[in-house]
Structure 1
Amino acid sequence: MYTFQQLIADQLIQEKVEMDQSAMLSLVGGFYDKLVSDVADKVLAKLAQQQESKPAFDPAALAGELDYRRLADALAGQLDYAEIAGQLDYSELGGEIDYGSLYSEIDLCDVASEIDLDSIASALDLSEKIREEIRMMLRSL
């Protein structure tokens, strides 16, 4: 199996080019750097493509914490509403609010007053019982 150095040396011999060892090593190093750079570029491009193909909002990300801005974006039409409805655990959300483990910089009262529950509930096709549970939770804020 050829090494880079042998491959380049053979090419230089075929072209009848004389080169000292340091120049040849420099050429081999340049070839190797280019190879590594090309591979790295392809890997980074592939990662960027995979990142772009992911949805802007992942309901599974709600499991540990709730980002109100992303939730608002999702409810504004960037996500299939049925997907959110199946992922939200309202009792867990209530517990997170009660224990204050959600982002402290968000004023929960302001958030609650800006939520148009009826339009969200209609979009999500929520039952009246679930709507009432959400109303009670929001009032407790």
Structure 2
Amino acid sequence: MQIIQKVIVKQMITENSKYTLQKKFEREKKQLELECQQLLFEQRKLMNKLTQSKTEVEERFEREINFRKDKMLMIDFKIEQLEVLEIGSEIIEREMEAIVPVEVGKDWETIMKERIIVVKDNIIVRIDE
């Protein structure tokens, strides 16, 4: 029998990974800014065509734009936190699922123990089981 278990993937911070993360955050923020501009354009286009319920359209677009602005603020916070992170520290990158074999006679505590994979510059450096 097999069960699915969560595995935490951590990234060990290096100069290279710090730079890569910062560029990734900047790309995400730029994409959100472009989406906001596109939404404003679509809103203006739609407002010119409509004769009624303009407030509903404005509210809908405003919600979408505010949602993206909140995401941009979160990215700014992540960039600030990244700047203070020390080289060698570990951050949680993601959670994944793994298939774990379960057999009669195995120790349940060992099977249910948290599993962590530590990656440094895209190379696995440690597996904690």
TM-score exceeds 0.5: no
More strand by share: 2
More helix by share: 1
Q: TM-score, normalised by structure 1?
A: 0.28
Structure with larger RCO (C-alpha < 8 A, sep 6+): 2
Q: Report the structure number with the largest CA radius of gyration.
A: 1
